């Protein structure tokens, strides 16, 4: 490692309240490496000293707890959550007195959050350190979800729980890089940080897209130099990761955001000789479950998250029947959840280790052929970001032409949205059609060979 000047940005201390000289050296190493990518953003752990200690205790607690509820038995911690939320959260307070039974709480969906997210933030949550996570998601237009540095840090507790199941106990520490998060997008939030609960091991979120590197070959050199213990990404970034001539392998891969198809998982396991965990995770909820082929589905990870499977009318379906995954509880104290309909579908099974989501039908990665290159569906989302459209579908036909399907109320944006997509795919390649679906729409679809990498 080489010494580099300390960051003189006045917000540096807010990003890294507990940063030591060793931690600074780790940041300098990741930023100053001759093969480093272009880091486009800045972020940090933002944890205060007492929060670092609390996080360690939280990880121990989550590691030791079980997801102990049984079929048709609402856990005993749920009624107090219902009562607190009805007392402290404006949306629920407006509904009147807390109901005696969870089943009497009217479910909410992303559309309710989009209509007024402030109504779902409890009265007591201080706002001075509030952060947000933007979901560009697949279920609607972008939404800013309230969160907090402590909430972001808590993700690690659930990842460690999932990793422990496959015999991986993260052990990175001072002077090592712990986690690298991979993206593969034309535009990607990228930055470096350190993890104070792991003795300021390095954390980098980087974009494998060649546009963010001085030379495409730097990608493998840099990742080998970082030698992260854990690599996280989505199936699209992992498909690119597989192509790199890496000489070092992580101890585990964490795949989130989209369905990880078995073929890609096997290739990753073979190539890196380590476990590949497919984690079902949502910005609104955090890591929900980890896939286990032996259990036939995603084992639930959060001891304080109750999952129901609801039919279209909002009624619970019997165990084993498919329906919408609906969650209560969670660990984001800025956004406590009461019967939040996720927009994803599964049935619920039970194993010795706890409840399991079976047949999860979440999001399938789609890539599009644009001017001769494959691009990520997230790039399509970025192109459509300026438009207030909640339901849409971008479909690439077998001849590579693209149909943008918009709901009737979004047709006023048709011309501008078509032009935005034409800038990606080329003039004359994009047509606009009317979308005739009123339910959750598969937003990214393609008939083109190779679209599902």
Partner 1 sequence: MNDPGPDLETLTRRLADTPPDFMDEPRVGGSGRVAVPALVNDLAGMHGARLALAVLDGFKGQSARSDRNRLAVAMICAWLLADPWLLAQRLDPASLVQVLAEVAAEMAAATPAHRFAADAERREELVRTMLGRLGYRPAGETPIQAADRLAAISATERRRLLEASRAAEQRAREIREALARKVAAESADKWTRE
Rounded to a whole number of angstroms, the minimum distance from the CB of residue 266 to partner 1 is: 21
For residue 299, give both structure tokens.
């084992």
Closest CA to 414 of 396, 443, 435, 399: 435
279 binds partner 1 (CB under 8 A): yes
Binding map of partner 1 across residues 207-246, x = CB under 8 A, - = no contact: -----------------------x-x--------------
* Cα separation, 116 vs 146, whole angstroms: 12
For residues 41 and 289, the answer to whether their CB atoms sit within 8 Å is: no
Contact set for partner 1, span 14-53 (CB under 8 A): 14-15, 41-46
Q: Which of these ranges, 117-125, 324-332, 380-388, 389-397, lies near partner 1 under the rule CB under 8 A?
A: 117-125
- Confirm if 435 and 386 have CB atoms less than 8 A apart: no
152 binds partner 1 (CB under 8 A): yes
* Binding region for partner 1 (CB under 8 A) out of 27-35, 98-106, 348-356, 397-405: 98-106
318, 306 contact by CB (below 8 A): no
Residue 22 and residue 10: Cα distance in Å, rounded?
20
Query: Is residue 86 a contact residue for partner 1 (CB under 8 A)?
Result: yes
- The torsion angle over the Cα atoms of residues 209, 213, 217 and 220, rounded to 10 degrees, is -70
Distance CA 434, CA 437 (A): 9
Quick check: 323 binds partner 1 (CB under 8 A)? Answer: no
What is the Cα–Cα distance from 272 to 40, expressed in whole angstroms?
28
Burial of 403 (0-12, 13-18, 19+ CB in 10 A): middle
Q: Which is nearer to partner 1, 148 or 209 (CB)?
A: 148
Residue 333 touches partner 1, criterion: CB under 8 A: no
Position among 236, 239, 256, 357 found at the interface with partner 1 (CB under 8 A):
256
Rounded Cα gap, residues 269 and 203, in angstroms: 22
* 40: Cβ contacts below 8 Å, ≥ 6 apart: 188, 189, 190, 191, 207, 212
**Among residues 24, 109, 135, 441, the one that binds partner 1 under rule CB under 8 A:** 135
* 189/333 with CB nearer partner 1: 189
List % helix, strand, coil for the chain (3-state, nearest 5).
Answer: 30, 25, 45
> Rule CB under 8 A: is residue 186 a binding residue for partner 1?
no
Nearer to partner 1, 274 or 414 (CB): 274
User: Measured in whole angstroms, how far is the alpha carbon of residue 398 from the centre of its chain?
Assistant: 30
Q: Does 169 bind partner 1 (CB under 8 A)?
A: no
Nearest to partner 1 of 74, 403 (CB atom): 74
- If one asks whether residue 357 binds partner 1 (CB under 8 A), the answer comes out as no
Distance CA 359, CA 362 (A): 9
Is residue 63 a contact point for partner 1 (CB under 8 A)? no
Instruction: Output the smallest distance, CB 83 to partner 1, in A.
Output: 11
Using CB under 8 A as the binding rule, whether residue 442 contacts partner 1 is answered as no
Query: 325 near 267, Cβ under 8 Å?
Result: no
Q: Is residue 116 involved in binding partner 1 (CB under 8 A)? A: yes
Judge whether 299 and 349 are in contact, CB under 8 Å: no
Q: Does 99 bind partner 1 (CB under 8 A)?
A: yes
Q: Is 124 in the site for partner 1 (CB under 8 A)?
A: no
The whole-angstrom separation of Cα 140 and Cα 138 is: 6
318 binds partner 1 (CB under 8 A): no
Q: Does residue 257 touch partner 1 according to CB under 8 A?
A: yes
Q: Supply the minimum distance, in Å, between the C-beta of residue 334 and partner 1.
A: 9
**CB closer to partner 1, 258 vs 356:** 258
Total residue length of the chain? 453
Q: Residue 24 Cβ, how far from partner 1 at the closest point, in Å?
A: 16
Which spans of this chain sit near partner 1 (rule: CB under 8 A)? 11, 14-15, 41-46, 86, 90, 93-101, 103-104, 106, 116-119, 121, 123, 127-128, 130-135, 144, 146-149, 152-153, 155-156, 159, 179, 181, 183, 189, 193, 195, 203, 205, 230, 232, 254, 256-257, 279, 281-283, 287, 313-315
């Amino acid at each position: 490692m080489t010494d580099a000047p300390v960051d003189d940005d006045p917000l540096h201390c807010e990003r890294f309240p507990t940063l030591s000289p060793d931690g600074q050296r780790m940041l300098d190493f990741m930023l100053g490496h001759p093969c480093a990518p272009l880091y486009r953003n800045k972020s940090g752990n933002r944890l205060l000293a007492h929060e670092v200690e609390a996080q360690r205790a939280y990880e121990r607690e989550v590691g030791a707890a079980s997801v102990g509820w049984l079929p048709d038995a609402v856990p005993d911690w749920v009624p107090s959550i219902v009562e607190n939320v009805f007392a402290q959260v404006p949306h629920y307070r407006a509904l009147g007195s807390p109901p005696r039974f969870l089943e009497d709480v009217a479910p909410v969906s992303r559309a309710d959050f989009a209509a007024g997210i402030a109504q779902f933030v409890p009265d007591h949550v201080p706002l001075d350190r509030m952060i947000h996570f933007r979901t560009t998601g697949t279920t609607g237009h972008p939404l800013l979800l309230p969160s907090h540095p402590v909430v972001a840090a808590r993700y690690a507790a659930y990842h460690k729980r999932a990793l422990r199941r496959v015999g991986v106990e993260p052990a990175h520490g001072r002077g090592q890089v712990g986690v690298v998060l991979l993206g593969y997008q034309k535009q990607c939030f990228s930055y470096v940080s350190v993890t104070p609960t792991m003795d300021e091991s390095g954390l980098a979120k980087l974009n494998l897209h060649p546009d963010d590197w001085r030379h495409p070959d730097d990608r493998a050199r840099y990742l080998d130099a970082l030698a992260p213990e854990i690599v996280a990404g989505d199936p699209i970034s992992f498909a690119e990761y597989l192509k790199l001539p890496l000489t070092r392998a992580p101890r585990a891969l964490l795949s989130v955001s989209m369905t990880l198809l078995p073929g890609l998982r096997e290739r990753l396991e073979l190539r890196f000789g380590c476990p590949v965990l497919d984690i079902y995770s949502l910005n609104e909820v955090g890591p929900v479950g980890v896939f286990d082929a032996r259990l036939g589905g995603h084992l639930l990870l959060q001891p304080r998250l109750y999952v129901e499977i609801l039919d279209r009318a909002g009624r619970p379906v019997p165990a084993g029947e498919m329906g919408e995954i609906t969650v209560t509880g969670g660990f984001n104290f800025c956004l406590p959840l009461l019967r939040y309909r996720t927009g994803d579908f599964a049935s619920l099974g039970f194993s010795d280790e706890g409840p399991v989501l079976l047949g999860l039908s979440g999001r399938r990665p789609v890539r599009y052929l644009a001017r001769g290159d494959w691009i990520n569906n997230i790039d399509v989302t970025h192109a459509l970001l300026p438009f207030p459209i909640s339901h849409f579908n971008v479909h690439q036909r077998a001849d590579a032409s693209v149909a943008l399907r918009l709901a009737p109320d979004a047709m006023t944006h048709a011309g501008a949205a078509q032009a935005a997509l034409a800038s990606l795919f080329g003039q004359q390649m994009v047509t606009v059609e009317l979308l005739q679906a009123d339910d959750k729409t598969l937003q990214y679809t393609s008939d083109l060979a190779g679209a599902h990498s």
